[in-house]
Amino acid sequence: MTAPLRPTEPITVPVALGARAYEIVIGRGLVASLGERIKTLRPGARAAIVSDETVARFHLGAVEAALKSAGIDSAHIIVPAGEGSKNYATFETVCEAIIGARVERNDLIVALGGGVIGDLAGFAASCVRRGLDFVQVPTTLLAQVDSSVGGKTGINSRQGKNLIGAFHQPVLVVADTALLDTLPKREFCAGYAEVAKYGLLGDAAFFSWLEKNWQGVFAGGDSSRGLAREHAIAVCCRAKAAIVARDERETGERALLNLGHTFGHALEAGCGFSDRLLHGEAVALGMALAFEFSAQKGLLTASEAARATAHLAAVGLPTHLKDVRGGVPAVDALMDLIAQDKKVKRGTLTFILVRGIGRAFIENNVDAAEVRKFLEHKLASA
Ligand SMILES: NC(=O)c1ccc[n+]([C@@H]2O[C@H](COP(=O)([O-])OP(=O)(O)OC[C@H]3O[C@@H](n4cnc5c(N)ncnc54)[C@H](O)[C@@H]3O)[C@@H](O)[C@H]2O)c1
Ligand SMILES: [Zn+2]
């Protein structure tokens, strides 16, 4: 017999940003309490829910019902699913729809979706009427551990990703882990790369825990099956919240969160941001390369780098260039993409390197020629 699903005690993670402080609440079945939480935070507020077509099909009904049961009037604005919606045209549609729904200064935007919706709806919230409050209800693992926390919002420019945007913190993040049950396995796995990232960059004990408990994180389930998923998400949110509280605008330490992203972004761009390589998959591959590159520089042993890579591979993430369907660009193109992503200063690049698992640091003086040689070697053996 299957045990009945019961909501578990939520975990609360505070984000300490002074006047802009807010809470991340994590737990299974939390959407049911969304209306009450919003009512407590902003009595009398109305809400406009922004979502994408896929997420809306699965979860809009429950969110609307939760708001209604708390007496909150809501409108919904649904955009096509996918990265393509982070463009000017959709941004305009969302802003006009928010105004059309007569959302006023004391009302709220609810971003119901993955990172695309969080970034798009958050940016619209930052602009309409010179700034509306918004609540994040992240529905992908990536969004629950990364994009919904920290206040980066925006859309893509024709010249690059996330180039138009604003820092705009949410007033509340409700991470309902049951929403992830409808997420395709490949998307969940890609989001897991960001989970592993927190262990690899600054928390060796968490990384060891993940090596033992990752199956529980993937399985999810009610409290009778353990709370591995909730625990993992909470650890990631605590880590991100601490970094963001110390460096909200990425003038220093926040850059550590880019572990694996310099190589990763170049590979992602090289695949045309297509479904040949999802963001998290590119990050997994980028982290494997960052560990190997660091080992080659003598910063850590090859066996410790291999341990990091082995875990990513064990959960099903790509860790070798040959894992990328359709292949990757040649070294010249990759180096151009790396140079575009991170400013090159007199032949040196900024990279997040590692001295071991959980020991990442920012290195501003990486020789571009050395990176090139490393990639040439990797491509030759791919
Ligand atoms: N703001 C930040 O700090 C930050 C950080 C990392 C990434 N991002 C951004 O996040 C975006 C990627 O986010 P993402 O990976 O969540 O992508 P996404 O929002 O496109 O979601 C991935 C896919 O899963 C579907 N989906 C979402 N939730 C679902 C659910 N519960 N059930 C079934 N299907 C569901 C979506 O419709 C979409 O097709 C990128 O645009 C990236 O730039 C932002
Ligand atoms: Zn990322």
Nearest CA to ligand 1 atom 9: 115
Confidence (pLDDT) at 224: 66
Evaluate if residue 301 carries a pLDDT over 80.
Answer: yes
Q: Which residue has the higher pLDDT, 343 or 360?
A: 360
Q: Report the C-alpha gap between 166 and 49 in whole angstroms.
A: 20
Nearest-atom number in ligand 1 for the CA of 162 is: 43
Catalytic residue positions, numbered: 130, 152, 194, 240, 250, 254, 258, 261, 265, 279
Nearest-atom number in ligand 1 for the CA of 81 is: 37
Evaluate if residue 8 carries a pLDDT over 70.
Answer: no
* Tokens at 129, concatenated: 């009427």
Evaluate if residue 6 carries a pLDDT over 70.
Answer: no
Calculate how far, in angstroms, residue 119's C-alpha sits from the geometric centre of ligand 1. Answer: 9
Q: Which residue has the higher pLDDT, 1 or 159?
A: 159
Q: Which residue has the higher pLDDT, 35 or 382?
A: 35
Calculate how far, in angstroms, residue 265's C-alpha sits from the geometric centre of ligand 2. Answer: 9
Q: Report the C-alpha gap between 299 and 53 in whole angstroms.
A: 46
Confidence (pLDDT) at 94: 98
Evaluate if residue 254 carries a pLDDT over 70.
Answer: yes
Q: Nearest CA to 79 among 121, 110, 34, 46?
A: 121
Average of per-residue pLDDT across 102-107: 94
Calculate how far, in angstroms, residue 123's C-alpha sits from the geometric centre of ligand 2. Answer: 18
Full 3-state SS string of the chain = CCCCCCCCCCEEEEECCHHHCEEEEEECCHHHHHHHHHHHHCCCCCEEEEEEHHHHHHHHHHHHHHHHHCCCCEEEEEECCCHHHCCHHHHHHHHHHHHHCCCCCCCEEEEEECHHHHHHHHHHHHHHHHCCEEEEEECCHHHHHHHCCCCEEEEEECCEEEEEEEECCCCEEEEEHHHHHHCCHHHHHHHHHHHHHHHHHHCHHHHHHHHHHHHHHHHCCCHHHCCHHHHHHHHHHHHHHHHHHHCCCCCCHHHHHHCCHHHHHHHHHHCCCCCCCCHHHHHHHHHHHHHHHHHHCCCCCHHHHHHHHHHHHHCCCCCCHHHCCCCCCCHHHHHHHHHHHCCCECCEEEEEEECCCCCEEEEEEEEHHHHHHHHHHHHHHC
8 Å CB contact between 290 and 200: no
Q: For the whole model, what pTM was predicted?
A: 0.95
Q: Nearest CA to 63 among 81, 38, 93?
A: 38
Give the mutation target among 15, 51, 53, 55 for probing the ligand 1 site: most ligand atoms within 8 A of CB. 55
Nearest CA to ligand 1 atom 42: 115
Nearest-atom number in ligand 1 for the CA of 86 is: 41
Which residues lie with the beta carbon below 6 Å from any ligand 1 atom? 52, 54-55, 58, 81-83, 86, 113-117, 119, 139-140, 142-143, 146-147, 150, 152, 161-162, 179-180, 182-183, 187, 279
Q: Per-residue pLDDT tens for 199-247?
A: 999 999 999 999 999 999 999 987 666 799 999 999 999 999 999 999 9
Confidence (pLDDT) at 273: 87
Calculate how far, in angstroms, residue 368's C-alpha sits from the geometric centre of ligand 1. Answer: 32
Give the mutation target among 58, 140, 192 for probing the ligand 1 site: most ligand atoms within 8 A of CB. 140
Confidence (pLDDT) at 3: 46
Percent of the chain at pLDDT > 70 equals: 96
Evaluate if residue 133 carries a pLDDT over 90.
Answer: yes
Q: In whole numbers, what is the pLDDT of the chain averaged over residues? A: 94
Nearest CA to ligand 1 atom 41: 116
Calculate how far, in angstroms, residue 116's C-alpha sits from the geometric centre of ligand 1. Answer: 5
Q: Per-residue pLDDT tens for 154-167?
A: 999 988 889 999 99
Calculate how far, in angstroms, residue 187's C-alpha sits from the geometric centre of ligand 1. Answer: 8
Confidence (pLDDT) at 339: 86
